[in-house]
């Protein structure tokens, strides 16, 4: 569960100042929630606030349980670290068994010789795969996603989605996207953001 308590925030986006929230409050407690706004900079910033990457100018955000980093972001998976070192770092950061995490990720797909090479030299598809695999290592209570959580590999996606659905049991999933059909695959309700205020919708379709 995520609680926004009287949040006001402005952000810089593409050389412009964006009013993200204006004294806005909401309790996000439904299990699978889509986050929608006409301005992508607004949803991006709200996802970052939920994740703790950005602190609001005013107000407080309360998080019940551990929150994932935004699934779909590639920045941390284009580093000079090898795939193996990255997996072990994620495991150690969340106090998970490093060897077990290493085996789990390698069972999801064949990284071949790339696994021990710097990830900033990897093919993009492999970087996307390890990014999706790594978010399944820690047991989060709230999973965040921004943009796409799909890679063009049906075999990998079948394995990953099965594991992800298992992780989501009894947990919360919040996704920011501007694609209605895509969001409807994962979410059954939505929160819109208009003029700095939250609007609750009973379905994803109503939010678009």
pLDDT, position 182 = 85
Within-domain flag for 6: no
Question: Does residue 181 lie within any of the structural domains?
Answer: yes
CA torsion sign, 196 to 201 to 204 to 208? Answer: negative
Q: Which pLDDT band, with edges at 50, 70 and 90, does 64 fall under? A: very high
Task: Let me know if residue 162 belongs to a domain.
Answer: no
Q: Is 131 exposed, middle or buried (0-12, 13-18, 19+ CB in 10 A)?
A: buried
Range of the domain at 191: 27-54+172-207
On the question of pLDDT at 74 being above 70, the answer is no
Q: Are residues 124 and 180 in the same domain?
A: no
Is position 62 within any domain? no
Structural domain contains residue 166: no
Please state whether the predicted TM-score (pTM) of the whole model is above 0.85.
yes
Residue 148 within a domain = no
Q: What is the rounded distance in angstroms from the CA atom of residue 197 to the CA atom of residue 208?
A: 16
Identify whether residues 36 and 80 lie together within a single domain.
Answer: no
Domain co-membership, 81 together with 131: yes
Kindly state whether residue 133 falls inside one of the protein's structural domains.
Answer: yes
Q: Give the mean pLDDT of the chain.
A: 92
82-92 pLDDT tens trace: 999 999 999 99
CA atoms within 13 A on the CB side of 80: 0
Question: What's the number of domains the chain is made of?
Answer: 2
pLDDT at 76: 66
Q: Decide which of 138, 155, 182 is a domain's last residue.
A: 138
User: Is residue 132 a part of any domain in this protein?
Assistant: yes
At residue 79, the pLDDT reads 82
Q: What is the pLDDT of residue 199?
A: 97
Which residues are bridge partners to 28 per DSSP?
A: 2
Tell me, yes or no, whether 91 and 125 share the same domain: yes
């Amino acid at each position: 569960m995520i609680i926004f308590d009287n949040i006001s925030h402005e952000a810089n986006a593409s050389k412009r100042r964006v009013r993200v929230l204006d004294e806005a409050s909401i309790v996000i407690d439904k299990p699978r929630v889509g986050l929608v706004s006409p301005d992508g900079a607004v949803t991006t910033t709200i996802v970052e606030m939920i994740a703790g990457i950005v602190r609001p100018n005013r107000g407080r955000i309360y998080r019940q349980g551990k929150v994932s980093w935004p699934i779909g972001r590639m920045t941390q998976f284009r580093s000079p670290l090898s795939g193996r070192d990255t997996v072990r770092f994620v495991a150690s950061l969340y106090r998970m068994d490093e060897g077990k995490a290493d085996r789990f990720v390698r069972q999801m797909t064949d990284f071949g010789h790339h696994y021990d090479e710097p990830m900033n030299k990897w093919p993009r598809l492999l970087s996307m795969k390890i990014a999706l695999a790594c978010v399944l290592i820690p047991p989060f209570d709230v999973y965040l996603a921004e943009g796409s959580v799909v890679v063009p590999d049906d075999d990998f996606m079948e394995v990953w989605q099965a594991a992800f659905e298992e992780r989501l049991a009894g947990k919360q999933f919040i996704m920011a996207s501007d694609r209605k059909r895509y969001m409807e695959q994962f979410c059954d309700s939505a929160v819109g953001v208009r003029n700095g205020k939250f609007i609750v919708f009973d379905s994803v379709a109503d939010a678009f």
